[in-house]
Copies of this chain bind each other. A is one copy, B any other.
Amino acid sequence: MILCRTLTELSEQLTKLKHNCSNRSNGSNGSVGFVPTMGYLHEGHASLLRRSRAENDISVLSIFVNPLQFGPNEDLDRYPRDEKRDLALAEECQVDLVFLPSTEEMYPKKPLTRVLVSGLTSKLCGASRPGHFDGVGMVVGKLFHLIGPTRAYFGMKDAQQVAVIQQMVDDLNYPVEIVPCPIVREPDGLALSSRNVYLSAEERAEAVVLSQTLQAAAQWIQEDGMTAEALLERVRQQISNAHHADIDYAELYTYPSLEEVPAAAPILLQSDKLILALAVKFGSTRLIDNRLLYPNEVINHA
């Protein structure tokens, strides 16, 4: 496994890897799978890395805690890091190359360029974390240029991020296929997140309310005449039963376009794929989770 910390190393090593592929006679075409992460890898990341390995000739992982996507009062400084453990997991997932740049390497000067995706970024985490998706667009745009991936793998836990990146890729014709991958969960349902380590034992126990509520909501939505308004009321009620839960948002939108769902109309008449998205603070730790809902499929199968 190759480790690169500078853009120069990365460029040299990628060229070598691609060259080696094109010299093989096994029909490999040098396709590159790419998993961008902020490190402190868990089984969710591993699932992306395994898929990248299975579907491409070359598999690349980046680990970079991108300061541009953190707000001034967020957890940039205390974001968890464990390079040694990350590299062991990467090796286990047969990653060919890990790119581990410093902030100076990624941002040698303050960038004057911004990549903004309007509409999609004004809601959910975009509303709670102003500038967050501008930072995501920036770093993902840079990494795509540096790595030149054929396919890039993103977890659906950050469903809004997937929608924003797909929009950016479509609008700017980035030559990369975005591959959304399922959320990986703990046995009790909690979505895996690097931030779960922040939780106290009590908060950790309560945090299961997120996945439980999402699962319940997939049932509630099937009730005759259920409206977005009523569904979200029930969702908020259930989450609030957890003592430490402080709801940032609990919203229903179309996915991936993130358009409003009429509040008072029966959801079952809705033809789009929907997302029920949650952001809830437990103590000082903000967790997100979501579930895609297919109202029409329910009708078709009823």
Chain A interface (Cβ < 8 Å from any Cβ of B): 7, 22, 109, 111-120, 137-138, 141-142, 145-146, 148, 167-168, 170-175
- For residue A146, which residue of chain B has the nearest CB? B173
B-chain residues with CB within 8 Å of residue A119 when the two chains form the complex: 112
B-chain residues with CB within 8 Å of residue A175 when the two chains form the complex: 145-146, 148
**Cα distance A32–B36 in the bound complex, in angstroms:** 28
Distance (whole angstroms) from the CB of A294 to the closest CB of chain B? 24
- For residue A7, which residue of chain B has the nearest CB? B173
9 contacts between A and B (CB under 8 A): A111-B172, A112-B117, A112-B119, A113-B116, A113-B137, A113-B171, A115-B172, A145-B172, A148-B175
Distance (whole angstroms) from the CB of A15 to the closest CB of chain B? 10
**Cα distance A117–B7 in the bound complex, in angstroms:** 22
Distance (whole angstroms) from the CB of A138 to the closest CB of chain B? 8
Name A115's contact: one of B7, B115, B142, B146 (CB within 8 Å). B115
**Cα distance A39–B68 in the bound complex, in angstroms:** 39
**Cα distance A173–B6 in the bound complex, in angstroms:** 13
Given contacts A142-B173, A173-B145, contact A116 B114 (CB under 8 A): yes
B-chain residues with CB within 8 Å of residue A138 when the two chains form the complex: 171-172
Distance (whole angstroms) from the CB of A175 to the closest CB of chain B? 6
- For residue A167, which residue of chain B has the nearest CB? B112
**Cα distance A226–B293 in the bound complex, in angstroms:** 71
B-chain residues with CB within 8 Å of residue A7 when the two chains form the complex: 173
Distance (whole angstroms) from the CB of A152 to the closest CB of chain B? 14
